[in-house]
Structure 1
Amino acid sequence: MNRLFLVVTSSILFLTGLTAQKKDITLEEIWGGAFRTEYMDALRSMNNGKEYTVLNFSRNPQGSSLDKYDYKTQKKVATIVASNDAIPFFTSYEFSNDESQIILATEIEPIFRHSRLGVYYVYDVKSKELVKISDDKIQEPELSPDGTKVAYAKENNLYLFNLKTKQTTQLTTDGVAGSIINGITDWVYEEEFAFVQAFAWNSSGTKIAFLKFDESNVPNFSMDVYGQDLYQYQYQFKYPKAGEENAKVSLHMLDVSSGAISEVNLGNPYYIPRIKWMNNADYLSVRTLNRHQNIMKLIAVNAKDNSTEVLLEETDEAYVDVTDDLTFLEDDSFIWTSERDGHNHVYLYDQDGKLMNQITKGPWEVTHYYGYDQANDRIFYQSTENGSINRDVYHISSNGSDKTRLTNKEGTNGASFSSDYSYFINTYSSATTPYEFTLHKASNGKKVADIKDNKALLEQLEGYNLAKKEFSTISINGNELNMYMYKPVDFDPNKEYPLFMFQYSGPGSQQVANRWGGANDYWHQMLAAEGYIIACVDGRGTGFKGRDFKKVTQLELGKYEVEDQIAAAKELSKLPYIDAERTGIWGWSYGGFMSTNAILKGNDTFEMAIAVAPVTSWRFYDTVYTERYMQTPQENASGYDDNSPFNYPELLKGKYLLVHGTGDDNVHVQNSMRMIEALVQANKQFDWAIYPDRNHGIYGGNTRLHLYTKMTNFIKENL
């Protein structure tokens, strides 16, 4: 039997000091925004590397301005454009390559997670002329490299707007809703490969490469929208569930001058998750994947004749991750990241795909690749070299020498670099420190200036009863698992407390991290103040501890992760101050799948569970995500069904709360409906809540306050 190891790597005070006058956190404060954290709005480095732009908003009257700041002084030097009587309120922007023009986005209407429709304008910085691209709402407008044209998508087709003649040309004509999409990704690509714009200009503006999706044979998914009218209506879209047919995707090349379109023969790939032009305007890089997603090819396409050459092939027994970690150097040699040695590291290849050097090495993970400063031969990256719960920023030369750590505070450090890599803005936080933004020299990490912090929030929180967030490891099933714990503020080791566990547990995820928490952390603090011990354990299958630790769950989602949560609960229950008869667990999405399985398979360990928007069978989830880890149901039926909780509802003994939104386009409410039916037929009593028209996030108005009030009451009544 495993012994319990509480090796405290850092017993971190969330905030210290207790007095009788201190208050407890309330749900109304959490969801009313009382503890809102100050962030830096997204900034963009100017081409000169000395200045950056920030989009600022005003409330009264509502307005937006694109302002330019000096990196060194941090002072605003100019307003480039601001909304006024002639320029509508804009919510995002994109510069042309030479920064002489800006695309401004207005009247934005979200579609899915990343996609949106909007009315877009081109603003000329010098002449101050504003030109509307289209009277209709469009998607993903992109200026040509010379700034004379805009390519965009509308109603599944691609268009070209000429800024000089003000003429619009329709480039594709076969786009049909629910059938053919040109230049924009379908639902599953957007959700799982995380991009929407599926077209790209080459550097000379002579070619546009684009993807075409034929989703004619993809099954329809429909959900009722209840709204406020007399009758509800059905919302339908194409959603390929595991084992079903995906859209057929193909790559096409458009010659801008002639309008001619030709298809590129890539050998019938199953997925095309990325396209990116090289520096040479005649060459496009394309990544393809097989259906199992364990063979990725990087292909060079010659745009002159559409001939292809495989530059690189990545294989893995489980799967190969799709990232944006690809930089082409001046000669089109390239930098790439891979898990091929067991950890994610940075590699350098020549133009022909021959490996030149593995740049980073070690039993740690590169967690973010920022880019390459060719002038000074410096590759910038973030990694877990200082422990898997921490992040630091480094630079290293392309031959693997001269590694320099650029951040020095223990916790989570991230960077945003100037375009010439002379400066970076460091975003830092830890379990005790809310976000701080500081300016540093990229050569050595020396701090140049403080930009923004959250000292006011820290001072505000000094008036509250807040517990310590203790980081440790726990030995479970032969692995040292990362864990954090909140104990009640007035903790007495001679008393017994109920244990309430939280987790997510999805492949490659991380919950136990030394960073500032969000709303759930405040809620956990609130529960700790009321006498609960909160624990979170990142079990097998989670990320940042090497390929094998992450991919051990392959073909068996929900098996090893659930075993680890049950075992961790049992080990923690051996502690003298934990009441073994009062153990609960909760989670959202993948975490809801986990908590549901935990109270069934661990019915001798858990007395209570809450599942929010859970998957209850991976047969109901999308192809790209599910098959990456499980292959298809036709190939791996037992992997799907042995860990599907509605197949063993009779195991329920404890108290169970199930929550879902009917408007969830991601994890469909079907998952909860099938779970409910299984429990009813097994004659098992449970509690449930359905939120009409709410999506996977279950928010809007008082929805979150209502949900967390319901969960809090359920915990108090049943734990």
Structure 2
Amino acid sequence: MRITTFMIAFFLLATPIITAQNKSITIADIWKPNVNTFRTERLQALHSMANGKEYAVQNFDNNTRVASVDIYNYESGEKVRTAVSTAEIEGLDYFIAYEFSADEQKVLLSTQIKSIFRRSTLGEYYVYDLLSRKLTKVSDDLIQEPTFSPDGTKIAYGKNNNLYVFDIDRNETNQFTFDGKKNSIINGITDWVYEEEFGFVRAFDWSADGKRIAYIRFDETNVPEFSMDVYGDKLYQTQTVFKYPKAGEENAKVSLHVYSLGEALTGTNVVQTKQISFGNIDPYYIPRIAWSKDPNILSIQTLNRNQNDLVLVFYNASTNKVSQPLRDRDQAYVDVTDNLTFLEDNSFIWTSEKDGWNHIYHYNKDGSLKKQVTSGKWEVTEYYGYDAASNRIFYQSTENGSINRGIYAIDISGKNKTPLAVDAGSNNADFSADFTYFINTFSDTTTPWRYTLHNAKDGKLIKTLKDNETLKTLYNSYKVSPKEFFTLPINGEDLNGYMIKPLDFDPTKKYPLFMYQYSGPGSQSVKNSWNSSNDMWFQMLAQEGYIVVCIDPRGTGLKGRDFKKITQKELGKYEVIDQIAAAEKLGKREYIDADRIGIFGWSYGGFMASNCLFQGADTFKMAIAVAPVTSWRFYDTIYTERYMLTPQVNPGGYDRNSPLSHVEKLKGDLLLVHGSADDNVHVQNSTRLVEALVQANKQFTYFNYPDKNHGIYGGNTRYHLYTMMTNYIKEKL
């Protein structure tokens, strides 16, 4: 082979770069407690102030141990004042989070936060008056989801499955639901399955004038219970018991109620709480409620059990009547979002996949379509809001490629689209309250999060706020390889993928292939963004001589409705077919050892990893399955039935694609890992798989982490887990 002058010059330039990358990434760098070598600096708890000229950030000084909420000027980027400082507040040593009242004269500060499930917490809360400098404790008990009334004079919150209103000035508390009972009745706070699958905890909302509170009531009486032993360090274990509806079982019965504060305050005998009647609309699920700008109009989103018929309902509190302005249907399912936005004329913004891609629509208040605002074979991935002054909508999308995210503005008429931040990579915007500015958070595979201030009119860069250049320099001093993006033609689709090769990659050698995937409905693992902790681990494996590949199969997201929803009623069918086909196609490359292919995944990815090892027994040599679903019969109603219907209706879909149905095919090595206190994917999944493998006389390795939940973390746990997985890969692959 003839070496050109250009190639000689390239090698001369490249050599010092490669030799400079002399440090090896270790598991301790990634996962050892209190090490966190690759920690990124962030703008913590960013909040745009109402004047549109300033923003707030939560800070903590490690030297003085002072927590603060500091106010910065958008234009200059300089700090202009401190709104809250624990150094100036007697009786408050720290706080974890903050929330301003609408008039920004008070701040709600949270302390003593205790996690319940994934999103829900109990906490101790204080109101700090910025004018009087007075600190007021909301409740002597730990409470849930406190939030200001629109005028900032009251706090509504949940406690022991009931709802309360705290009057700040009077220092008085009024309880307005009384039937709350653990594992029976919940008022205003979501049950486990709503929290996990509809993604919210606060199931109550203030009306615009602060005179009413709407709330969802959950009757869990007939929902089956699930229990978990918690072993702890005592002589006897304890037991956690909670309501968990598995696929096909009974859900909580939900009803919607409106409580009138005005009637309570005047002391009249008028009924203070009314239950909303939906007429001929079936509110099997109520995944969203929100008052409109009109204090009499409450918006409600309802879903049928199959989740393919979403109805937007308006309730008029003054007439006690409901209307149905919009219905969104799909042969598979309809996604629930938080994008509903009311304009001053009570027309509204909505997002939908009804044309085959997720786009923005503008409707009249009666539900008649005014305009489809965006269109094209790409997805709107975030809706940021509408600016009445400029008549523009701001959004994030995949217009610059499905693995990238760009920020755009467009007239509500659908004209005059303006790209604001569209560099290849991931752009995410936080707009000022008046949409004058936005702070863009950008990253790609080689650039840690970079925070920059821009003019929202045209996207012009004003100032860099934080760039993580120190981390970037540190990262580049390690033996890191580029993440190479590619598409792989499989079963009629070009699947997105990335590959990480050893830094000293030699195409004449053969390398073992380690595949990572998640593969869940609508998900995306192949994306052009800064490295996660797993990415750092993959770089470490590349250092050890492995090629790491990730493929997003059919059923994943951001490539249109049909690509995503092909897996309907058959979770684990097409995704497994695609992963096996991808492994076989990659195994034909000269530099990949087809006899040494492994696969790894967590949760849905664990379901996939075990399935691929069993069904692709002649393709995969080993698999690591962490916290896997092994039968969708064991998983919750809302998630599972969205994609599979009930097992009573679709038994074949549940059983054909379950790893439990394919254990006899196992030839390779399996490492199975689960946390015993996993409230999400119950350890029942792994114990059933263990039993099936034992009865099939298949050898495997199983490791159980006592009292650890779905995330399997805490103390030294992640360090131990990733050490174990690394050793297993080195031994088996």
If the TM-score is normalised by the length of the shorter chain, which range does it land in? over 0.9
**Equivalent residues in 2 for 1:522-541, closer than 5 Å:** 522-541=536-555
State the Cα deviation string for residues 294-349 of structure 1 (Å, max 9, x = none): 00000000011321000100000000000001110001100010000000000000
Could you tell me which amino acid in structure 1 is paired with residue 185 of structure 2? I
Q: 1:15 to 1:130 in 2, by over 3 A?
A: farther
CA contact (8 A) 1:30 1:523 kept: yes
CA contact (8 A) 1:389 1:513 kept: yes
CA distance in 2, matches of 1:21, 1:209: 58
CA distance in 2, matches of 1:306, 1:120: 35
Partner of 2:276: 264
Partner of 2:3: none
CA distance in 1, matches of 2:327, 2:291: 18
CA distance in 2, matches of 1:178, 1:438: 47
Q: 1:86 to 1:21 in 2, by over 3 A?
A: closer
Aligned partner of residue 296 in structure 1, secondary structure: strand
Partner of 2:28: 28
Partner of 1:396: 410
State the Cα deviation string for residues 368-411 of structure 1 (Å, max 9, x = none): 00000011011000000001000100000011111000014211
**Equivalent residues in 2 for 1:261-340, closer than 5 Å:** 261-266=273-278, 267-340=281-354
CA distance in 2, matches of 1:591, 1:108: 31
Partner of 1:204: 209
Which deviates more from structure 2 when the two are superposed, residues 25-34 or residues 504-513? 25-34
Q: Paired residue for 1:630, among 631, 639, 644?
A: 644
CA distance in 2, matches of 1:464, 1:130: 49
Shift of 1:231: 0.7
CA distance in 1, matches of 2:376, 2:82: 46
Aligned partner of residue 122 in structure 1, secondary structure: strand
State the Cα deviation string for residues 85-114 of structure 1 (Å, max 9, x = none): 333411111111111111111111111111
CA distance in 2, matches of 1:467, 1:52: 38
Q: Paired residue for 2:69, among 50, 66, 70?
A: 66
Q: 1:331 to 1:15 in 2, by over 3 A?
A: farther
CA distance in 2, matches of 1:504, 1:551: 16
**Equivalent residues in 2 for 1:560-571, closer than 5 Å:** 560-571=574-585
CA contact (8 A) 1:603 1:651 kept: yes
CA contact (8 A) 2:21 2:479 kept: no
Partner of 1:76: 79
**Equivalent residues in 2 for 1:163-562, closer than 5 Å:** 163-259=168-264, 260-266=272-278, 267-562=281-576
CA contact (8 A) 1:15 1:432 kept: no
Partner of 1:19: 19
CA contact (8 A) 2:666 2:698 kept: yes
CA contact (8 A) 2:282 2:302 kept: no
CA distance in 2, matches of 1:217, 1:56: 46
CA distance in 1, matches of 2:15, 2:665: 41
Shift of 1:21: 6.9
Q: Paired residue for 2:686, among 667, 672, 678?
A: 672
CA contact (8 A) 1:584 1:608 kept: yes
CA distance in 1, matches of 2:158, 2:65: 29
CA contact (8 A) 2:109 2:127 kept: yes
Aligned partner of residue 325 in structure 2, secondary structure: strand
Partner of 1:649: 663
Partner of 1:10: none
CA contact (8 A) 1:15 1:466 kept: no
State the Cα deviation string for residues 38-64 of structure 1 (Å, max 9, x = none): 222121100000001111112344331
CA distance in 2, matches of 1:639, 1:597: 14
CA distance in 2, matches of 1:96, 1:697: 34
Number of paired residues?
706
CA contact (8 A) 2:21 2:480 kept: no
Shift of 1:647: 2.1
Shift of 1:15: 13
Consecutive unaligned residues in structure 2, runs of 5 or more: 1-13, 265-271
Which deviates more from structure 2 when the two are superposed, residues 347-356 or residues 121-130? 121-130
1:161 equivalent to 2:175? Answer no
Could you tell me which amino acid in structure 1 is paired with residue 497 of structure 2? M
Q: Paired residue for 2:49, among 46, 49, 55?
A: 46
CA distance in 2, matches of 1:560, 1:634: 22
CA distance in 2, matches of 1:584, 1:113: 30
Aligned partner of residue 434 in structure 1, secondary structure: strand
State the Cα deviation string for residues 517-567 of structure 1 (Å, max 9, x = none): 111111111111111111111000000000000000000000000000000
Large movers: runs of 4+ above 2 Å: 14-17, 58-63, 84-88
CA contact (8 A) 1:503 1:536 kept: yes
Aligned partner of residue 160 in structure 1, secondary structure: strand
CA contact (8 A) 1:359 1:398 kept: yes
CA contact (8 A) 1:242 1:627 kept: yes
CA contact (8 A) 1:16 1:466 kept: no
**Equivalent residues in 2 for 1:95-106, closer than 5 Å:** 95-106=100-111
CA distance in 2, matches of 1:20, 1:126: 55
CA distance in 1, matches of 2:99, 2:472: 35
Which deviates more from structure 2 when the two are superposed, residues 84-93 or residues 440-449? 84-93
Shift of 1:514: 0.6
For CA contacts below 8 A with separation 6 or more, give which structure has more relative contact order: 1
TM-score normalised by length of structure 1: 0.97
Partner of 1:583: 597
Aligned partner of residue 439 in structure 1, secondary structure: strand
CA distance in 2, matches of 1:165, 1:377: 42
CA contact (8 A) 1:17 1:462 kept: no
CA distance in 2, matches of 1:88, 1:248: 42
CA contact (8 A) 1:311 1:352 kept: yes
CA distance in 2, matches of 1:395, 1:559: 39
TM-score normalised by length of structure 2: 0.95
Shift of 1:72: 0.6
Which deviates more from structure 2 when the two are superposed, residues 55-64 or residues 75-84? 55-64
CA contact (8 A) 2:45 2:97 kept: no
